[in-house]
């Protein structure tokens, strides 16, 4: 699951063959040997994770080969300002992820659906990267994901010790959303739901939203059609995978208000149940990610 197919590799070389050396962001053919040189063999937790799951946890990595490998938004990934972890901060970072993040996923989920590279750092300052951020506005990202890797920031000792309860909840929710929505759905195109999820809105996906001048379409309007609220400057209903990502985000970040509204709307409740149960079936302990998800299992 973590290796690239021969077909994909051939396609990449064809696409990138005309690029100059400084524009080539494709992975090295000797990537595995390179990763073996990068991984911290003195850290028993990191090595145990690699041996058990096949995923390399790296705090020393190449921004082009490991972080920035992306066709869309390639410039933004290359231009991101990264602050790397100090080695002394790594044990605390790994312990935090082990207790609060990786523990939410069954072994089978990690083996089959985690990226080959799990990068950890102090800071990612950049414009939109994948589904994190919007447009050209530069922000400090908590996590980002592309087809090459998943990167979690804010794992230095100062950032972790400075998190109060609310910030830690917000941070972990974002990590789970970027992994589940950004990597699993957006990058891997993993459709873990049944057709019943898409059926209620099948005739609306990608179609124009009928907005009448002078009237406002509220949350109830969209929920009655099987969607979460769509901003007024958006003129089209989302496509299927966008819809799935929106449900994943709302399941992961759901508060009591959203929970209660979704439970009241039969279309939304059925779709959310399908998402929660689908994630549970592939090895996500979604009730640990968000205890409110338990009502949809």
| 171 burial type by CB count under 10 A (0-12 exposed, 13-18 middle, 19+ buried) | buried
Tokens of 79: 């231009």
Spatial distance between the Cα atoms of 53 and 142, rounded to a whole number of angstroms: 24
More confident position, 215 or 73: 215
Range 220-236 average pLDDT: 93
pLDDT tens for each residue of 272-296: 999 999 999 999 999 999 999 999 9
Of 247 and 20, more confident: 247
What does the longest C-alpha to C-alpha distance in the chain come to?
Answer: 65
Residue-level pLDDT at 232: 87
Question: Distance between CA 153 and CA 93 in Å, rounded?
Answer: 10
| DSSP category for residue 147 | S
pLDDT 10s digits, 155-198: 999 999 999 999 999 999 999 999 999 999 999 999 999 999 99
End-to-end CA distance of the chain: 27
Amino acid 213: pLDDT: 76
Q: Alpha-carbon distance 290 to 49, whole Å? A: 24
Average per-residue pLDDT in the chain? 89
Collect all residues with Cβ–Cβ distance below 8 Å to 292 and sequence separation of at least 6. 254, 255, 256, 259
**Mean predicted confidence (pLDDT) in 126-151:** 94
**Is 231's pLDDT higher than 60?**
yes
d(CA 94, CA 288): 19
DSSP codes joined into one string, 46-75: HHHHHHHH-PEEESS--IIIII---STTHH
pLDDT tens readout for residues 1-40: 444 333 334 344 443 443 333 444 444 446 778 999 999 9
């Amino acid at each position: 699951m973590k290796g690239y197919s021969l077909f994909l590799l051939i396609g990449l070389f064809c696409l990138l063959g005309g690029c100059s050396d400084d524009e080539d962001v494709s992975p090295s053919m000797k990537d595995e040997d390179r990763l073996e040189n990068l991984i911290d063999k003195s850290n028993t937790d990191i090595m145990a994770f690699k041996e058990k799951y096949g995923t390399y946890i790296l705090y020393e990595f190449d921004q082009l080969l490991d972080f920035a490998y992306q066709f869309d938004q390639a410039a933004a990934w290359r231009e991101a300002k990264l602050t790397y972890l100090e080695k002394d901060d790594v044990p605390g970072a790994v312990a935090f992820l082990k207790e609060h993040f990786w523990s939410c996923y069954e072994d089978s989920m990690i083996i089959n659906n985690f990226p080959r590279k799990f990068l950890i750092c102090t800071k990612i300052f950049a414009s939109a990267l994948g589904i994190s951020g919007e447009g050209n506005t530069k922000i400090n990202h908590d996590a980002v994901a592309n087809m090459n890797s998943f990167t979690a920031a804010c794992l230095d000792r100062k950032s972790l010790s400075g998190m109060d309860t609310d910030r830690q909840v917000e941070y972990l929710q974002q990590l789970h959303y970027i992994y589940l929505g950004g990597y699993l759905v957006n990058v891997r195109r993993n459709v873990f739901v049944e057709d019943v999820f898409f059926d209620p809105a099948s005739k609306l996906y990608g179609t124009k939203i009928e907005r009448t001048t002078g009237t406002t379409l509220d949350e109830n309007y969209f929920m009655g059609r099987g969607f979460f609220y769509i901003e007024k400057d958006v003129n089209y209903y989302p496509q299927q995978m966008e819809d799935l990502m929106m449900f994943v985000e709302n399941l992961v970040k759901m508060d009591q208000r959203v929970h209660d509204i979704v439970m009241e709307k039969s279309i939304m409740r059925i779709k959310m149940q399908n998402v929660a149960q689908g994630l549970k079936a592939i090895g996500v302990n979604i009730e640990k990610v968000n205890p409110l998800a338990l009502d949809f299992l």
